[in-house]
């Protein structure tokens, strides 16, 4: 039996449930797991609710202050499932306490905050991951293999749209408040697109964009559209909205390369569409034994759910902590979280300025970092 | 916290993994669960393998004889995930030992064996379920609600096909041996179609059918086609094959009624297609809060996997054991398992005879059963 | 410029319009045409209507008695677009008058009548075609090429369903009267399935079937389901209904062979789905220059309509009359029309008898035919 | 019988064939036609080829100089199917000779040229149409009816992409030469998107865009991406490319409005997808009698081809010439052709400038036009 790792979590709602589910499931699905997660402590503001969550998900104890998670010696890994404005401070505190960390996306509310979180984690020397879980959809991993393996030739186009329909009716007020969320559809769902473009194709070097806020009392965007320049010369188009009736979780991605194309839709996450040799698209159910994560689950054709991206992701994180693999390139590090935030910031700047904006990524060498710490 | 129920399982391969996954997941997804499953004991023939499985899935102990499961006082529920020829004897022993039971489909290798299993369970007065898990696909449950609620009017047609492609290459030899499996594609996947037709539309009263065995050394069917009469006058067509390249788990079902139609495909299990008012089909992602099981999982558009049918199914079983609900009509009882077997037997008889065969269901009253026991 | 051929048509409604459209279109689409059709005369019972039709479609004259078409020396080709009960007598009269003939499907109201029409045409030595136009869908022709070329290996399964939704509301009363129509959904749309199975896979040797009449005042079937034996050992399932809400012209066909599968749906007639090499289905738009009829129309991706099957079909017929090609195998002869009728008759017999029925095709040698004529 | 109108055509290749087909077909499909087209004369540079085309399509005569078409008194309507650099001069000459005109898209090679063509036609007082034929797809007309009728509420998003795959292999060199074509994918297929956005949703007021030329020897764009501002506040995203393997004629359009969404794909042109009431998309075959152009063709479910958009379009043009209807709003006038060109020019400017560009439409009053003429 592998060693145990203590997990401390901030938040127990949508993302907390998904992460808890994954820790419990990876144990036997990815058998033997790199490390055996022990759910040590969960933090939330409302004491009865967090107690109930602890009982439900099997945490050893519940606390109402995240500081108690960070300080807990039983915690080796800090898992931040809190809202955006609770990403930076607790995560930085955790890394400074020597905890490994995973933080939900977007990493910070803007590039500056994200950069700070990344730098703190680097300085602390811990393992860090930004939870861009769609990298762990088997069809997306297969797409990466096809592109990176050169099978489709040079990429010319990538287009992504992430459409949902709940923008007019949601009651999660923090999501519409810039001081709490940073941005709206852009950071919440658009950042997934940015990360997938970076993972599958390459770095975004410039953007030109417009945003929209359909409900005037909101301080964040409800939608955006952007045209992107990529470092290898490809043209990218990205769009996200929370005001697209009929689209429930419509992350659709298409890549056109010299010798073929790929298409993916998160509403049918087990399928990858591939066009090669001048022919139309073949629908591949990514459930064969030879497919990514194929051996983990069921016989061919027995599709897995959205939630199991987290099983793959957290197993990968535990593998990194155990020294079996690196977080990059298949997992997103805090650097990836930061870089996505730079692109999102450039989209906002471009929308305001009405001009193409370069994306200037800050890079920090180890010696600079050491100097900065002094 | 609800009471605990001890589970003893026979088998730990494909179905055992799926059931174990479900017991562990229902605890927190269907919170609070009707009963808290405790994985007490698992049986398998190969000692190292069954030990490893027990460690992986969290069973308290592993045994190599199913008799030790049945005799274990820690076991309240016997879960039979064994191959078809190990359905009858262990299940009957379990009910006679007073255990509640769930048995994988097909219930027995033929109608006679299935009838015996059912009668034994009835005589013992335990809760019994035949694991026709596709009743627990949210889209199927929604289809049932639409049909049973009368929204589509009288059903005129039901057609089902279950196509897979592994028949030429499989190495699971027991599946091609009549003495072990009972039948081939018919009992393995065709029985799912029969059960869904019965669940959604009504009783099958007569069949006319042909079977095929493409590999001559096999003693079971590789495929069958059947035309069915239904008790309310609808016409049914059913077909299954393990020799359909490109179809991985292609259970497709369509119902045409006077005022509308429904269509479903297990390769896209989160979708139900509905036609009403003379218009074309609307694709509904069955992930809304108001949909069956909608509140258990994630926000709209975040699809669940094949594996989660078992979570719904086993929660339902535990609810029946806890007295919260009946197994029927949403769960399949052993009577449903028996009735599906009668239809399958009629299909085999019709294929041999070249004639339409009535399906004669045996019914047993409680007094007959009491008399039989004396 | 090629020679001219005079066309005399019976009927000017749905099928008459489709055929007239095709004669006018093939001239320049299939340039140069094998023969130049001249629309000489059209017959219909209602004089004002048939006059208007003649003006609209460009016939030289309009008559109210089909006998005047058959007797017209300007007519070289008799095109029978009349209702089923007007297939036999006018067609036989036309061939006896030495006209080439095309007759809409079903050829006759039953196998006997169809056999008589075929024999008359053979005896007369004219070119004859039964208008099973779906053989001339480019995707169907491509399917035939793939199967006949052996690319998919031996065929194991063929399944066809033809679903429409107008059965409850139609006012075309002759279609529900056995004396006028012969049969219902079976002859009208089921015969297309039978013909396509014969064209793509092979001869049907036995059937077992049930029919349904949902509206009791009707003397024909509203629907049928059938399981078929094919001469090469494949298993076929066929079904048709006029009571399938949401299905407008839903002829769906699937072939599973040892090394691959094909699927087609007439509601998306420009697409052929092909599975090979164990992978899923690739959607091919059959509009490339190298595809059947690809050079006739537009650049790739510019889809053609249902109506253009008739352009292909009638050009093929004119090619046969001009001696450029034979009607068979790509066009259906009257023998094909007769053979489809034998299968349909067997389906009706099987439904009544509740037994598998052999399909006994009558074959007639030239000497027998000569003897019969004496 | 309606009056005759003499048609003179420039060009007889792809578009010439499509227009000729439509003139011949509308006669009987749109019976009675507003005017009866007589194909008077066709012009082309190569004498043998234009003679053959005249014979094939039934023109009375063939000429090698377009000036002879314009000067021909038998010509009432000048139909310009020539390449882009032959749009302005012949069209202006035709209107100055008092001919009604239809000109293929894009109207001119840029906004200036397009404006000049428009102004000339206005000054001449003739009927003018720019052949944006996709306005005449029945599904697009139905989309317009749904949007304009207010059924979906205020439009928030419109996104269009037009993807083809022949850019790397085409031998039509004029299409890659700016002096002949004006622009590349932008004017050729992107202009269709611009026109459809204007037709369905409203005026485009500003754009921000990037273009790409993948083959460096070309002087036009191979692809572009653009984000658009619309006059009613909607956000638009447009993209076109000739380098998208597997996309043959992939014009896909989606509109999201407050109360519903629409989606369309030109590779399945008979289908409109509609989402209303918070539900998913319903696939509507736009072939019912109550649908646009529904009565012209066949019974429900019998789909029409791409080419028949031209039948609808040219019938509409003849109706305008006959005084039965106006060209606008369902047909595109030269003003629409000019306005699309202004948007395309702004896209090019934005790409170069890296800045959002306003679209400044020139409007000319009748008195200004009269003054200009003096």
- Tens of pLDDT, residues D236-261: 999 999 999 999 999 999 999 999 99
Q: Which of D229, D278, D355 shows the shortest C-beta gap to A245?
A: D278
Q: Which of A171-180, A281-290, B356-365 has the highest mean pLDDT?
A: A281-290
Contact between D306 and C308 using a beta-carbon 8 Å cutoff? no
- In the beta sheet, which residues pair with residue B236? B158, B228
**Tokens 């200009």 sit on residue:** D372
Q: What is the pLDDT of residues C297-306, one digit of tens each?
A: 999 999 999 9
Whether the predicted pLDDT of D41 surpasses 70: yes
| Residue C73 contacts B, CB cutoff 8 Å | no
Residue-level pLDDT at D373: 58
Q: Which of B25, B247, B249 shows the shortest C-beta gap to A302?
A: B249
- Which one, of A18, A293, A251, A317, lies nearest residue A137 by Cα? A293
Report how far residue C37's alpha carbon sits from residue C311's, in angstroms, rounded to the nearest whole number. Answer: 12
Angle between helix axes A111-124 and A334-353 (nearest 10 degrees) is 160
User: What token pair was written down for A167?
Assistant: 């923008």
Whether the predicted pLDDT of C281 surpasses 80: yes
Residue-level pLDDT at D294: 87
Q: Which of A281, A284, A285 shows the shortest C-beta gap to C283?
A: A281
**Local confidence band at A294 (pLDDT 50, 70, 90 cut-offs):** confident
Backbone angles phi, psi at C370, to 5 degrees: -65, -45
Mean pLDDT taken over chain B: 96
- Which one, of A18, A2, A26, lies nearest residue A297 by Cα? A26
Residue-level pLDDT at A270: 98
Residue-level pLDDT at C171: 81
Q: What is the pLDDT of residues B207-218, one digit of tens each?
A: 999 999 999 999
Q: Quickly count: other Cβ atoms within 10 Å of residue A299's Cβ.
A: 16
Whether the predicted pLDDT of B19 surpasses 80: yes
Burial C163-179 (b: 16+ CB within 10 A, else e): bbbbbeeeeeeebbeee
**Tokens 């509301």 sit on residue:** C169
Residue-level pLDDT at C170: 85
Contacts of A287 in chain B (CB under 8 A): 248
What are the residues whose beta carbons fall under 8 Å from the beta carbon of D74, sequence distance 6 or more?
D6, D8, D38, D40, D41, D60
Report how far residue C314's alpha carbon sits from residue C37's, in angstroms, rounded to the nearest whole number. Answer: 10
Could you please report the per-residue DSSP string of B296-313? GS-STT-PPPTTHHHHHH
Whether the predicted pLDDT of B373 surpasses 60: no
Using omega within 30 degrees of 0 as the cis cutoff, is the peptide bond preceding C106 cis?
yes
Residue-level pLDDT at D372: 60
Contacts of B291 in chain A (CB under 8 A): none
**Tokens 């994985």 sit on residue:** B39
**Local confidence band at A372 (pLDDT 50, 70, 90 cut-offs):** low
User: What token pair was written down for C3?
Assistant: 């020679």
Count how many pairs of residues, chain B against chain D, have C-beta atoms within 8 Å: 21
Average pLDDT of the residues in D267-281: 97
pLDDT above 90: percentage of residues in chain D: 93
Report how far residue B234's alpha carbon sits from residue C89's, in angstroms, rounded to the nearest whole number. Answer: 38
Contact between A298 and B307 using a beta-carbon 8 Å cutoff? yes
Contacts of D284 in chain B (CB under 8 A): 279-280
Angle between helix axes C47-57 and D14-29 (nearest 10 degrees) is 170
Q: Which of A156, A239, A261 shows the shortest C-beta gap to D246?
A: A261
Count how many pairs of residues, chain C against chain D, have C-beta atoms within 8 Å: 106
Residue-level pLDDT at C172: 83
Average pLDDT of the residues in B311-330: 98
CA distance D272 to chain B (A): 10
Q: Quickly count: other Cβ atoms within 10 Å of residue C366's Cβ.
A: 9
| Residue A241 contacts D, CB cutoff 8 Å | yes
| Residue A49 contacts B, CB cutoff 8 Å | no
Residue-level pLDDT at A370: 65
User: Which element (helix H / strand E) includes B111?
Assistant: helix B111-124
Mean pLDDT taken over chain A: 96
Q: What is the pLDDT of residues A29-75, one digit of tens each?
A: 999 999 999 999 999 999 999 999 999 999 999 999 999 999 999 99
Average pLDDT of the residues in D70-90: 98
Angle between helix axes C366-373 and C111-124 (nearest 10 degrees) is 90
pLDDT above 70: percentage of residues in chain A: 98
| Residue B30 contacts C, CB cutoff 8 Å | no
Q: In what order do the strands lie in the sheet with A128-130?
A: A61-63, A36-43, A4-10, A77-80, A100-103, A128-130
Contact between B282 and D281 using a beta-carbon 8 Å cutoff? yes
CB contact at 8 A, C158 and C234: yes
Question: Beta strand pairing status for D260-265 and D250-257?
Answer: antiparallel
Q: Which of C181-190, D172-181, D188-197, D309-318 shows the lowest mean pLDDT across its residues?
A: D172-181
Contact between D285 and C267 using a beta-carbon 8 Å cutoff? yes
Q: Quickly count: other Cβ atoms within 10 Å of residue D65's Cβ.
A: 12
Q: How far is CA C226 from CA B195, B273, C349, in A?
A: 21, 25, 12
C 130-159 near B (Cβ less than 8 A): 156-157, 159
Q: Which of C1, C25, C301 shows the shortest C-beta gap to D249?
A: C301
Q: Quickly count: other Cβ atoms within 10 Å of residue A364's Cβ.
A: 15
Q: What is the pTM of this model?
A: 0.97
Residue-level pLDDT at C366: 66
Contact between A302 and B298 using a beta-carbon 8 Å cutoff? no
Q: Where are the beta strands (DSSP E) in chain B?
A: 4-10, 36-43, 61-63, 77-80, 100-103, 128-130, 155-163, 204-212, 223-230, 235-241, 250-257, 260-265, 271-276, 281-285, 357-358
CA distance C279 to chain A (A): 7
| Residue D19 contacts A, CB cutoff 8 Å | no
Domains of chain C listed by start with CATH number? 4-133 (3.40.50.720), 135-300+332-351 (3.30.360.10)
Report how far residue C357's alpha carbon sits from residue C343's, in angstroms, rounded to the nearest whole number. Answer: 9
| Residue A280 contacts D, CB cutoff 8 Å | yes
Whether the predicted pLDDT of D124 surpasses 60: yes
Mean pLDDT taken over chain D: 96
Contacts of C305 in chain D (CB under 8 A): 302-305, 307-308
Contact between A298 and B304 using a beta-carbon 8 Å cutoff? no
Q: How far is CA A349 from CA A109, A209, A335, A355, C319, in A?
A: 15, 8, 21, 8, 67
| Residue B276 contacts D, CB cutoff 8 Å | no
- Which one, of B187, B138, B141, B168, lies nearest residue B308 by Cα? B138
End-to-end CA distance of chain B: 41
Contact between A268 and B268 using a beta-carbon 8 Å cutoff? yes
User: What token pair was written down for A369?
Assistant: 């970092």
CB contact at 8 A, A273 and A282: yes
**Tokens 């009960």 sit on residue:** C85
∠ Cα A228 A229 A235 (to 5°): 80
Average pLDDT of the residues in A352-374: 81
Q: What is the pLDDT of residues A124-141, one digit of tens each?
A: 999 999 999 999 999 999
Q: What is the pLDDT of residues A246-272, one digit of tens each?
A: 999 999 999 999 999 999 999 999 999
CB contact at 8 A, C252 and C239: no
What 8-state DSSP symbol labels residue D305?
A: P
Q: In what order do the strands lie in the sheet with D61-63?
A: D61-63, D36-43, D4-10, D77-80, D100-103, D128-130
Contact between C256 and B233 using a beta-carbon 8 Å cutoff? no
| Residue B279 contacts D, CB cutoff 8 Å | yes
What 8-state DSSP symbol labels residue D156?
A: E
CB contact at 8 A, A227 and A221: no
B 220-239 near A (Cβ less than 8 A): none
- In the beta sheet, which residues pair with residue A357? A207
Residue-level pLDDT at D84: 97
Whether the predicted pLDDT of D132 surpasses 70: yes
What is the phi-psi region of residue A274: left when phi exceeds 0, alpha when psi lies from -120 to 50, beta otherwise? beta
Contacts of B25 in chain A (CB under 8 A): 21, 24-25
Alpha helices in chain A (DSSP H): 14-29, 47-57, 66-70, 88-96, 111-124, 138-148, 178-181, 185, 191-200, 308-321, 334-353, 366-373
Q: Which one of C260, C270, C277, C282 makes the best mutation probe of the A interface by having the most chain A beta carbons within 10 Å? A: C282
Contact between A14 and B247 using a beta-carbon 8 Å cutoff? no
User: Which element (helix H / strand E) includes A159?
Assistant: strand A155-163
What 8-state DSSP symbol labels residue D129?
A: E
What 8-state DSSP symbol labels residue C33?
A: P
Contacts of A156 in chain D (CB under 8 A): 212, 214, 223, 241, 243
Average pLDDT of the residues in C52-56: 96
CA distance D274 to chain B (A): 8
**Local confidence band at C369 (pLDDT 50, 70, 90 cut-offs):** low
| Residue D216 contacts B, CB cutoff 8 Å | no
CA distance C148 to chain A (A): 21
CB contact at 8 A, A245 and D275: yes
| Residue D284 contacts B, CB cutoff 8 Å | yes
A 320-359 near D (Cβ less than 8 A): 350, 354-356
| Residue B51 contacts C, CB cutoff 8 Å | no
Answer yes or no: is the ipTM higher than 0.90: yes
Q: Which of D225, D259, D278 shows the shortest C-beta gap to A235?
A: D225
| Residue A300 contacts C, CB cutoff 8 Å | no
Q: What is the pLDDT of residues C101-148, one digit of tens each?
A: 999 999 999 999 999 999 999 999 999 999 999 999 999 999 999 999
- Which one, of B254, B277, B235, B237, lies nearest residue B151 by Cα? B277
CB contact at 8 A, D43 and D66: yes
């Amino acid at each position: 039996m592998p060693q145990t790792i203590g997990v401390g979590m901030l938040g127990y709602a949508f993302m907390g449930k998904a992460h808890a589910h994954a820790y419990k499931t990876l144990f036997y699905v990815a058998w033997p797991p790199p490390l055996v997660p022990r759910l040590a402590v969960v933090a939330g503001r409302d004491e009865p609710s967090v107690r109930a969550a602890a009982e439900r998900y099997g945490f050893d104890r519940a606390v109402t202050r995240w500081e108690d998670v960070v300080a807990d010696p039983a915690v080796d890994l800090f898992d931040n499932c809190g809202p955006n404005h609770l990403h930076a401070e607790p995560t930085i505190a955790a890394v400074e306490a020597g905890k490994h960390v995973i933080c939900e996306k977007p990493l910070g509310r803007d590039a500056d905050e994200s950069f700070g979180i990344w730098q703190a984690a680097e300085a602390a020397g811990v393992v860090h991951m930004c939870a861009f879980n769609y990298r762990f959809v088997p069809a997306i991993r297969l797409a990466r293999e096809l592109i990176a393996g050169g099978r489709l030739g040079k990429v010319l186009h990538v287009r992504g749209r992430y459409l949902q329909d709940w923008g007019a009716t949601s009651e999660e007020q923090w999501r519409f408040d810039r001081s709490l969320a940073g941005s709206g559809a852009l950071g919440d769902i658009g950042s997934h697109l940015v990360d997938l473009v970076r993972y599958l194709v390459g770095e975004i070097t410039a953007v030109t964009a417009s945003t929209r806020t359909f409900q005037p009392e909101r301080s964040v965007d409800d939608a955006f559209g952007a045209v992107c320049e990529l470092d290898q010369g490809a043209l990218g188009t990205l769009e996200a909205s929370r005001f697209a009736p009929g689209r429930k979780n419509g992350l659709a991605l298409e890549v056109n390369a010299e010798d073929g194309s790929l298409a993916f839709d998160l509403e049918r996450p087990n399928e990858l569409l591939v066009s090669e040799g001048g022919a139309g698209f073949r629908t591949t159910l990514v459930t064969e034994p030879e497919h990514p994560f194929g051996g983990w689950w069921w016989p061919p054709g027995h599709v897995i759910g959205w939630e199991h991206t987290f099983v793959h992701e957290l197993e990968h994180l535990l593998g990194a902590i155990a020294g079996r693999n690196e977080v990059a390139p298949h997992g997103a590090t805090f650097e990836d979280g930061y870089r996505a935030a730079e692109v999102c910031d450039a989209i906002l700047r471009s929308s305001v300025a009405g001009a193409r904006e370069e994306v200037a990524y800050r890079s920090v060498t180890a010696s600079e970092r050491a100097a900065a710490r002094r």
